[in-house]
Amino acid sequence: MLTILRRAMLLAGAAATVAPGIRRAAAQAAPATPDLRDLSYPFVLPPLPYPTTANEPSIDAVTMEIHHDKHHAAYVANLNAAVKDHPQVAAMPLTTMLAKIGELPEGIRGAVRNNGGGHANHTMFWTVMGSTGGEPGGDVAAAINRDFGSYADLKTSFNKAALGQFGSGWAMVLVDGSGKLSLTPRPNQDSPLLDGKRVLFGNDVWEHAYYLKYQNRRADYAAAWWNVINWPVINARYQAAVAGTLAI
Ligand code: MN3
């Protein structure tokens, strides 16, 4: 029995040693299945859809781990704490909480804006990474060329927005129901869902997203980020936006 257990553990250990490459290849081959559903109370931290090493070397594993396990987890915990004594608010899906932020009790408005926005933003963020970047394909490539001129032009404008965001915030590409794309920087955790808009993809330019590896070099992080973005997932989000089924 012990021998079998030990053998199983050795095999598991060997698998873990070779797994990152295999899992990475598998993740690329797998069909894109981003979570497009709305979120509701009690909110839970979604697991990372890949190992913390999946975005190495562009984003280091320790940053991924702290960012997900500590920062995103805190937004979830704080959002739950904010709405738990407000059953009418807690009954709303997250998109409604954010879209109706001005109608929420004043005492929890800021907490929902910051932590609900943080939960929505990071839920999107994890799913649009974990791959190998490269040129976009499919319908989203045509939309990028139509609305930004080219992929190179999009990257230039997007990175400029990422660098121009004073302090903490995001650079995001929005998508409307007709498939039209637009670029927007957002401060803090302000989600475009506050304005009833939908995010196609976005990059987190809070220092917690890059400081361990890049310190003050936000430009280097912004440039490297494109190496891990997941075009199949972004294409699926695009299709969902046009179909009206993209929630978060
Ligand atoms: Mn963050």
Report yes or no on 17 lying in a domain: no
Both structure tokens of 92? 């709303």
Report yes or no on 18 lying in a domain: no
Among 120, 123, 125, which Cα is nearest to 101's?
A: 120
CA of 12 to the centre of ligand 1 (A): 32
Report yes or no on 19 lying in a domain: no
Report yes or no on 5 lying in a domain: no
Domain count for the chain, please give it. 1
Whether this model's pTM surpasses 0.85? yes
CA of 75 to the centre of ligand 1 (A): 10
Q: Largest alpha-carbon pair distance within the chain?
A: 64
CA of 184 to the centre of ligand 1 (A): 17
Q: What is the CATH number for 205?
A: 3.55.40.20
What is the full DSSP assignment across 208-227? Answer: GGTHHHHTT-HHHHHHHHGG
CA of 178 to the centre of ligand 1 (A): 29
CA of 90 to the centre of ligand 1 (A): 23
CA of 154 to the centre of ligand 1 (A): 22
Report yes or no on 39 lying in a domain: no
* Distance (Å, whole) CA 171 – CA 184: 6
CA of 245 to the centre of ligand 1 (A): 25
* Distance (Å, whole) CA 155 – CA 224: 11
pLDDT score at 34? 73
DSSP state of 5: H
pLDDT score at 32? 55
Both structure tokens of 35? 């979570």
Report yes or no on 12 lying in a domain: no
CA of 116 to the centre of ligand 1 (A): 13
Assign 3-class secondary structure to 175-211.
ECCCCCEEEEEEECCCCHHHHCCEEEEEEECCHHHCH
CA of 65 to the centre of ligand 1 (A): 11
| Residue 248 CB-half CA count within 13 A | 24
pLDDT score at 9? 37
CA of 121 to the centre of ligand 1 (A): 8
CA of 208 to the centre of ligand 1 (A): 6
Report yes or no on 28 lying in a domain: no
* Distance (Å, whole) CA 200 – CA 213: 26
Name the residue range of residue 182's domain: 61-243
CA of 6 to the centre of ligand 1 (A): 40
CA of 128 to the centre of ligand 1 (A): 14
Q: What is the mean pLDDT of each run of 10 residues along the chain (248 residues)?
A: 38 37 42 78 97 98 98 98 98 98 98 98 98 96 98 98 95 98 98 98 97 97 98 96 96
Check if the beta carbon of residue 19 is closer than 8 Å to that of residue 13: no
CA of 194 to the centre of ligand 1 (A): 18
pLDDT score at 240? 96
Report yes or no on 1 lying in a domain: no
pLDDT score at 21? 39
